[in-house]
Amino acid sequence: MKIVQTGDPVLRGAARELTAAEIRSRAIQELVERMRDTMRDAPGVGLAAPQIGESIQLAVVEDREEYFRGADPASTAERERSAVPFHVVINPKLSVVDEEPVEFFEGCLSVSGFVALVPRARAVRVECLDERGRPAAIEARGWYARILQHEIDHLHGRLYLDRMEPRSFMTTASHSRFWRGQTTREVRAALGLHATIWRARGSAAKR
């Protein structure tokens, strides 16, 4: 499926919730399968329906071990990253569990070719429906929490561009050439950024 890029109005609108009947319909079941395949083909760790032009509150998530198997173990530990099996999130309600901000470079399939430092809450809870319309509750920390916040932002018309540190915005090529392997603290110092970063309390991340 084609992944729409920033500037497309569908990425800036609030997606509508799905009814139980819609979730169980053949159309939505087929859409989930196509989104899964599109996400894996990209490849990415998450994909929200607005990113493929559908303004509905549905996202797919999967973080395969192969995506970070060759990464520096210290970097993986710092990000609290571990494998996340494929699952579907529908009509999610997100709340912050641990408001301690963590900041790492983040990209988006709908902002192709760019990354930036983005602060996110360390831990979140998401109440949602699964692909069969059954209630589900997700407790997530670290990179998994970041993925969920990123995808749920899409369902409310927000991109990481709205949360990023503007001076850190760069192409993926520049990130690989100049900044890969550096800690967030080192990057902030090199870019002349203040040490204090965003706080989760009272932020849009709670919505």
User: According to DSSP H, which parts of the chain are helical?
Assistant: 20-24, 26-41, 73-78, 142-155, 172-174, 184-190
Which amino acid type is present at position 125?
A: R
What is the rounded CA–CA span in Å between residue 40 and residue 64? 10
Strands (E) across 64-177 are located at 84-107, 114-129, 135-141, 170-171
Closest CA to 63 of 49, 48, 46, 76: 46
Task: Judge whether 151 counts as a catalytic residue.
Answer: yes
Catalytic residue among 106, 131, 151, 165: 151
* Token duo for residue 129: 């429906």
Q: Catalytic amino acids? A: 151
